[in-house]
Amino acid sequence: MLSDPTTLTLAKLSELLKKRQISSEDLVNTFLEKIESQNPNINAYITVDKAGAIKAAKDADARLDAKQGEALTGIPIGVKDLFCTKGLLTTCASKILHNFIPPYESTVTSRLKAAGAVVLGKTNMDEFAMGSSNETSHFGVVKNPWDHSRIPGGSSGGSAAAVSASLCSATIGTDTGGSIRQPAALTGITGFKPTYGRVSRFGMIAFASSLDQAGPMTKTAQDSALMLQTMAGHDAKDATSINAPVPDYMASLNDGLKGRKIGIPAEYFASGLSQDVATVIEEAKKQFTDLGAELVPVSLPTTKHAIPTYYILAPAEASSNLARYDGVRFGYRCEDPQDIKDLYFRTRAEGFGSEVKRRIMLGTYVLSSGYYDAYYLKAQKVRRLIADDFKAAFAKVDLLLAPTTPDTAFKLGAKTDDPVQMYLSDIFTINVNLAGLPAISIPCGFDKTNLPIGLQLIGRPLDESGILSAAHAYQQATDWHTRSPIL
């Protein structure tokens, strides 16, 4: 057994497992011990499934012994607590689902489990994935492993912190407006949001169905390729899932950057970008040129409309999706309801946190008759313009390069009283969701106080391979992704 295998990449662990130089059971036990000692400080996990993980590890070892292992067989992973896991508590970090044990499994987790991945537990998040700091969770805030006085980003903050602190090998998150990429950037890991429809949404607790997309959160782009290979693909249970073949992401991983045209969108480098982030991204741009890419200035003029558009459309969809939580069939129910109306009203008043209520009210308002045309319909039209902007840029370039976030991780509590400031954290990620595009965040440096900075690569629809190979080329030439916080 190696001294500390938890800090190794998924690819390396997979190799050791296949060669039988390490057993999945030992590996899982090492992660479980680390979770036991470190999770109380960071709060990355809501639920740890010790017995389930050990059983799955034993099954994986038997499969590996029989030489029937795949890349993920025996790999310990964390799962964001909005993927339904059959028989295992799934809360979406909300009081209203505090006791919900799903009777079925999400497609993504069932694919990962079938490949032999071992689920260590369910990771913390913002309630119903609404947030950018992991401070809206009913189960408490998550701390950034790099500085415990700071947020890890959100909404997949627990997933990001778990990978950053090596409390699992990889996790899955979801990204509706930046929830994979923003926390990845703020915790120094790699986070990949695939094209909308590339990965099935079946069994994911819905926030905004036209935007939600699952993706891997890992230490490297190569690890993301390995995870996505299993996660991606058509699913008849999700009507928006894309029916297109899944390419071999590992086969093209070493394609390199030579001759690739990378657009630099002017609007992502305007005011609001912190000096430290700007300096580090400038440095990274040089690295991309050194690796053979050609940088091309481009413009995405509708960028400034992304936040208001998102905060009409996402709450509108949320207000409808969250109507199902009424205390009747599952989840939290208020005590001693007087009648059915009282049951609905008090269950929802007591069960939802304040950010979720704000979104439901916003969404209900923009959908109400008299306001529908002025807000919802208008926002849908702007969404089209945003997508058209990207389309025009991709007629000239293969990828876009930009910062993932305007700044590094802020202090816990710094923005909780100012929702608009909080919403602005996603200024560089939200437009990508509105356009349905794939994008990755990879570590590219640190600010003056040693907090990680993320770089975003955005691609054409379904060009996950192009993004992964570009990110991999950069990670072969740099070592930012190998840095980890001292716990």
Does residue 389 bind ligand GLN (CB under 6 A)?
Answer: no
Does residue 176 bind ligand GLN (CB under 6 A)?
Answer: yes
Q: Which is nearer to ligand GLN, 22 or 360 (CB)?
A: 360
- Which range of residues in 35-43, 98-106, 176-184, 466-474 is near ligand GLN by CB under 6 A? 176-184
Cβ–Cβ < 8 Å for 349, 216: no
Does residue 204 bind ligand GLN (CB under 6 A)?
Answer: no
Cβ–Cβ < 8 Å for 403, 268: yes
Q: Which is nearer to ligand GLN, 178 or 327 (CB)?
A: 178
Helix, strand or coil, per DSSP, at residue 146: coil
d(CA 451, CA 429): 19
Does residue 314 bind ligand GLN (CB under 6 A)?
Answer: yes
- 469: preceding bond cis by omega (within 30 degrees): no
DSSP 340: H
Distances (CA, A) of 161 to 57, 93, 178, 191, 374: 23, 16, 16, 12, 40
Task: Say whether 155 is catalytic.
Answer: yes
Under rule CB under 6 A, how many of the chain's residues touch ligand GLN? 13
Please tell me which residue in 80, 113, 122, 193 is annotated as part of the active site.
Answer: 80
Q: Which is nearer to ligand GLN, 82 or 284 (CB)?
A: 82
Q: Which two tokens stand for residue 367?
A: 């959908």
Cβ–Cβ < 8 Å for 149, 412: yes
User: Which residue, among 148, 192, 258, 203, has the nearest Cα to 10 in the 3D structure?
Assistant: 192
Residue selected from 179, 229, 408, 484 as contacting ligand GLN according to rule CB under 6 A: 179
Q: Which is nearer to ligand GLN, 30 or 136 (CB)?
A: 136
Helix, strand or coil, per DSSP, at residue 47: strand
Q: Which is nearer to ligand GLN, 74 or 153 (CB)?
A: 153
Residue selected from 78, 152, 177, 327 as contacting ligand GLN according to rule CB under 6 A: 177
d(CA 377, CA 289): 42
Cα 199 versus chain centre, distance: 13
Q: Which is nearer to ligand GLN, 238 or 255 (CB)?
A: 238
Does residue 130 bind ligand GLN (CB under 6 A)?
Answer: yes
Residue selected from 317, 426, 463, 464 as contacting ligand GLN according to rule CB under 6 A: 426
Task: Say whether 55 is catalytic.
Answer: no
The region that residue 188 occupies, defined by phi over 0 for left and psi between -120 and 50 for alpha, beta otherwise, is left
Residue selected from 79, 120, 129, 400 as contacting ligand GLN according to rule CB under 6 A: 129
Helix, strand or coil, per DSSP, at residue 18: helix
Does residue 173 bind ligand GLN (CB under 6 A)?
Answer: no
d(CA 146, CA 149): 9
- Which range of residues in 123-131, 292-300, 332-340, 341-349 is near ligand GLN by CB under 6 A? 123-131
- Cα 260–264–269 angle (5° rounding)? 155
Task: Say whether 179 is catalytic.
Answer: yes
d(CA 48, CA 149): 24
Cβ–Cβ < 8 Å for 456, 215: no
Residue selected from 61, 81, 175, 389 as contacting ligand GLN according to rule CB under 6 A: 175
Does residue 155 bind ligand GLN (CB under 6 A)?
Answer: yes
Does residue 438 bind ligand GLN (CB under 6 A)?
Answer: no
Please tell me which residue in 94, 137, 155, 164 is annotated as part of the active site.
Answer: 155
Does residue 293 bind ligand GLN (CB under 6 A)?
Answer: no
Binding interface with ligand GLN (CB under 6 A): 129-132, 155, 175-179, 207, 314, 426
Active-site positions?
80, 155, 179
